[in-house]
Chains A and B, each alone.
Chain A
Amino acid sequence: MTEHINSAFDTGLKEVNKQIAKLGALAETQLDDSLTALKEKNIQKFESIINRDKSLDKITADVSSSVFELLALWSPIAYDLRSLLVADRVGAILERIGDYSKNIARRSQVIVTEENFDRLPVNIIGLGQHVQDLLHKSLDAYMELNIDKAMNIWESDIDTDRLYLSIFKEILSYMSENPDDAKMLTHLIFISKNLERVGDYTTSIAKQTYFLIEGTVPQTKRPKAMTTF
């Protein structure tokens, strides 16, 4: 897309995009830290994840108010309008991903001190890494305006569903054999559900990227492995 004759809108939009890039990096850090801390049982890291969440909220609010101001001042249309709408939505999505990471940290804090924690057979980190990879790729697709990358994310959501479903089943069967660990296992279900939700949000980023580029939403229905749980 060529530059505007009046450059002030471009300057404003660039600033918004810079903020989104920063927010994306922070969301990735939060997710990565929550998984590492869980793996390492690192109590200090949990604290810093929880404290850092405020800065994501702050950037998201800043993005929203910049978008609002640009909309009011410029009445943008077509691609310009989509750029702002999508920036605002992606901002909100990244903030939610931050919230999920914080929630993972909170729950992990409770369970890592349980004595049976190390004996758990579930591969929650594997699900986490899969979702991390999706988040990274979806942000790439968005920043690079790459429609192929966006569509790939859209299609690989089914893998997230499958991974989550198998973890869920594992936890259930383990729970029936070890009812004393029910509390810990329930937290673990929520943690994996959080990760599955993050995966969903990465497909939303992909969908927004598609909308930004094409001006329409992708026509194909997203493949789904499950509808409940």
Chain B
Amino acid sequence: MKDVGSMIPNQYKITTSNVNVDYGNKRALHDINLQIEEKEVTALIGPSGCGKSTFIRCLNRMNDLIEGCKVEGKIMIDEVDINSPDTDIVELRARIGMVFQKPNPFPKSIYDNVAYGPRIHGLAKSNEDLDNIVTKSLKRAGLWNEVEDRLDASGLSLSGGQQQRLCIARAIAVNPDILLMDEPCSALDPIATAVIEELINELKERYTIVIVTHSMQQAARLSEKTAYFHLGKMIEYDITSNIFTNPKHEMTEAYISGRIG
């Protein structure tokens, strides 16, 4: 008889079950169970070293690239077990865009930065197709108006905030459905931060977004759900407004309000 459980469609975009991560013999994440809703922003917060980046890297198997890092447990994205041997990792990474703390454009033209992914994934049938993808991605990233007349200029010639939006354009050019962002605004001034935040607000109409941030206000402003991590454990996961008005766990309250925990 068929297992009934497997016939129920997974209602979450991402589900992690009992995820443990070790670096060598040091455990960095303990039994993380988290359900991430589609087309929502989920914020991961917690003190430095609590495992936020480690967790977010599990979601696109970036930890595979780290020597000595071992991931256990199950991570489902839609109906796919991403750690199963059948999963094509190149395809997986194309479905999941990632933006890092420090904007890291390639030392290439603005155009090529965005065109890079679609080219390697063979997403464009013609040059015109590629032009369209680049234009659309830059528009969605809110950068088009600032760069349309200098697509040949180096990505590195842009300001920090523009570079970060270029990286977002690069991430969405391959048409992912999930965007992972690890402290995307920590190197930006308040205006550039507000621009990115507004962008994230628009992007969540199309993408499921997981964002790591050290700014409590940013998590509060941007996300629907917030998860609080502490020493490799997930302490509390709830609707963001609950976390910031009335957290259930004392450790969460101590952290978000800057108390001695």
Contact = CB atoms under 8 A, between A and B. Distances in A.
Interface residues of A, number: 18
B238 interface: no
A226 interface: no
B257 A215 contact: no
Interface stretch (B114-122, B156-164, B241-249): B241-249
A80 to B, nearest CB: 5
B245 A215 contact: yes
Contact of B260 (A4, A75, A82): A4
Contacts of A6: 258
B2 interface: no
Given A5-B259, A80-B257, A75 B217 contact: yes
A216 B242 CA distance: 11
Contact of A78 (B217, B246, B261): B246
Contacts of A76: 257
B220 interface: yes
Interface in A1-53: 1-6, 9
A70 to B, nearest CB: 13
B260 A81 contact: no
B247 to A, nearest CB: 6
A73 interface: no
Contact of A4 (B244, B246, B247, B258): B258
B80 interface: no
Contact of B220 (A77, A79, A82): A77
Nearest to B253: A78
Contacts of B260: 2-5
A82 B253 CA distance: 13
Most buried by B among A1, A2, A78, A216: A78
Interface in B232-257: 244-247, 253-254, 256-257
A145 B257 CA distance: 19
A77 B255 CA distance: 11
Given A75-B217, A77-B220, A78-B253, A3 B246 contact: no
A9 B259 CA distance: 11
Nearest to B246: A215
A79 B258 contact: no
A4 B256 CA distance: 11
B216 interface: yes
A77 B259 contact: no
Nearest to B216: A77
A79 B257 contact: yes
B259 A1 contact: yes
A78 B257 contact: yes
Nearest to B252: A78
Contacts of B254: 2
A3 B260 CA distance: 6
Contacts of A9: 258
A75 B218 CA distance: 12
A78 B258 contact: no
Contacts of B245: 77-78, 81-82, 215
A75 B254 CA distance: 15
B240 to A, nearest CB: 11
Contacts of A78: 244-247, 253, 256-257
A78 B254 CA distance: 10
Interface in A211-229: 214-216
A79 B247 CA distance: 9
A29 B38 CA distance: 59
Given A75-B217, A78-B256, A79-B253, A2 B247 contact: no
Contacts of B261: 2
A214 B245 CA distance: 10
A216 B245 CA distance: 10
A29 B79 CA distance: 69
A81 B216 CA distance: 14
A214 B247 CA distance: 10
B217 A4 contact: no
Nearest to B220: A77
Given A81-B245, A214-B246, 15 more contacts: A2-B260, A2-B261, A3-B259, A4-B259, A6-B258, A77-B216, A77-B220, A77-B245, A77-B256, A77-B257, A78-B247, A78-B253, A79-B253, A215-B246, A216-B246
13 contacts: A1-B259, A2-B261, A3-B259, A5-B258, A76-B257, A77-B245, A78-B244, A78-B245, A78-B246, A78-B257, A79-B253, A82-B245, A216-B246
Interface of A: 1-6, 9, 75-82, 214-216
